[in-house]
Amino acid sequence: MCSSAGRRSLRVRGWTEESAMFLTLFGTVVIAGIIGYASEKTGWTQNGYIQSIIICVGGAFLFYFIRIMFGFGFASPGMNAIVSSIGALIIVPFHWRR
């Protein structure tokens, strides 16, 4: 997952890989929530604030765990959160629309 230099850097700072993964997950949820709120505030979506935030966080969770299990995604976890949140906002409402 990380190079040996990356692992050494984490140990020097007192971080373990598990705590770094937890902080990445927390950051992913925060970024997804901001994207959901901003999409409603700008009028890009009309789902409602809570619904948009839930859709974005769900998409970000899904992409986060896919990245952990299968190892593909963008280089930056923040970019993964942004792209997955926007993708979820596009896919989910159109799927349920009649």
Give the tens place of pLDDT for each residue, 59-95.
999 999 988 889 888 888 889 999 999 999 988 877 6
pLDDT of residue 97: 62
Q: What is the pLDDT at residue 84?
A: 92
Q: What span, in angstroms and rounded, lies between the C-alpha atoms of 66 and 27?
A: 16
Give the tens place of pLDDT for each residue, 42-51: 988 888 899 9
Angle between helices 49-70 and 77-96 (to 10 degrees): 120
Q: How far is CA 39 from the centre of its chain?
A: 15
For residue 50, the model assigns a pLDDT of: 93
For the segment 20-42, what is each residue's pLDDT rounded down to a tens digit? 788 888 999 999 999 999 999 99
> pTM of this prediction?
0.77
Where are the domains positioned within the chain? 21-96
